[in-house]
Homo-oligomer: A and B are copies of this chain.
Amino acid sequence: MKVTLINYTPHPIETAFVAARTCYSADTPSNLWERSAADGEDKISPDRMHSLLDKVINSGHHSVLEHINFTFAIEGISRSCSHQLVRHRIASYSQQSQRYVKVASDAFVTPPTIAANPQAKKIFDDFIASVNRTYQKLLELGIPKEDARFVIPNAAKTNLVMTMNFRELYNVSQIRLCVRAQWEIRELFWKIKSELARHEELRGLADYLAPKCEILGYCPEHKSCGRYPTKEEVLGEK
């Protein structure tokens, strides 16, 4: 799996700050923008911008976070994982099509539980080899790619471009960074968080991405993984 942040809203903190200030200020957004993104003697200090953003995020007024967008190149995840990912509907996806692109013979994800079990690994590898033979034979018999792909398993790798705004990324991360999420999509979202953290100006935003227990202060599930106590344990209610 490879995740690359290929593009994002320039001046992201400034953009969210201008949006937040516009709601509560007589000042115009174009003027606020000048004083945020540009340098000048009346420039608003980065600390003040961070501080407002922190208040906004912690008190749950998240709509201003929608003005910050991220575009990721996501490569080599399984079709299982992509099927889960695209269920998050407040985002934009452009995914490699198995109707039009021939599946490569080496493009399959091996789950860690299988990789760690030599017997299972042998069975899995033999199976993938048979997938490749079968797929190839069907194509040779004139079956169109869109139908030959019916033999392609969930393990097949896929690539996609995803654009998601920071509000949604914050929400989805709470679910997908949780240990209850499947290992592959969990790894994907930890990589997304790392990608943000690699960029100096996005590090502050990356810090807000966390499993829901960290955000809420308790685990809302029936049983906790142990990281945080459950809501009932913390609040003493049912």
Could you list which residues of chain A lie within 8 angstroms of chain B, going by C-beta atoms?
Answer: 2, 4, 6-7, 9-11, 15, 18-20, 22-26, 28-30, 33, 37, 55, 58-60, 63-64, 66-67, 69, 71, 73-75, 78-80, 82-83, 86-87, 89-90, 92-102, 104, 109-114, 117, 119-120, 123-124, 127, 130-131, 134, 137-138, 141-144, 146-147, 149-155, 159-161, 163, 165, 182, 212, 216-218, 220-222, 231, 234-235, 237
A150 touches B111 (CB 8 A): yes
Instruction: Please give the distance in Å from A93's CB to the nearest CB on chain B.
Output: 7
Q: List the 4 shortest-distance A-B pairs measured between CB atoms, nearest first.
A: A66-B92, A29-B73, A19-B94, A111-B147
Residue of A59, A78, A151 contacting most chain B CB atoms (<10 Å)? A151
B146 near A154 (CB under 8 angstroms)? Answer: no
A3: min CB distance to chain B, Å: 9
Q: Which of B80, B94, B155 contacts A64 (CB 8 A)?
A: B94
| Chain B residues near A143 (CB-CB < 8 A) | 111, 113-114, 117, 120
5 A-B residue pairs with Cβ-Cβ distance under 8 Å, sorted by A, are A6-B30, A19-B161, A67-B161, A117-B142, A124-B150
Measured between beta carbons, the chain B residues less than 8 angstroms from A104 are: 26
Measured CB to CB, the nearest residue on chain B to A117 is B141
Q: Inside 8 A of A99's CB, which chain B residues have their CB?
A: 182
The verdict on A97 contacting B163 (CB below 8 Å), with A114-B143, A117-B143, A235-B234 known, is no
Query: Is A23 a contact of B96 with CB atoms below 8 Å?
Result: yes
Chain B neighbourhood of A142, CB < 8 A: 117
Q: How many angstroms between the C-alpha atoms of A139 and B94 in the bound complex?
A: 34
Q: Within the complex, which residue of B102, B117, B144 is in contact with A113, where a contact is CB–CB below 8 Å?
A: B144
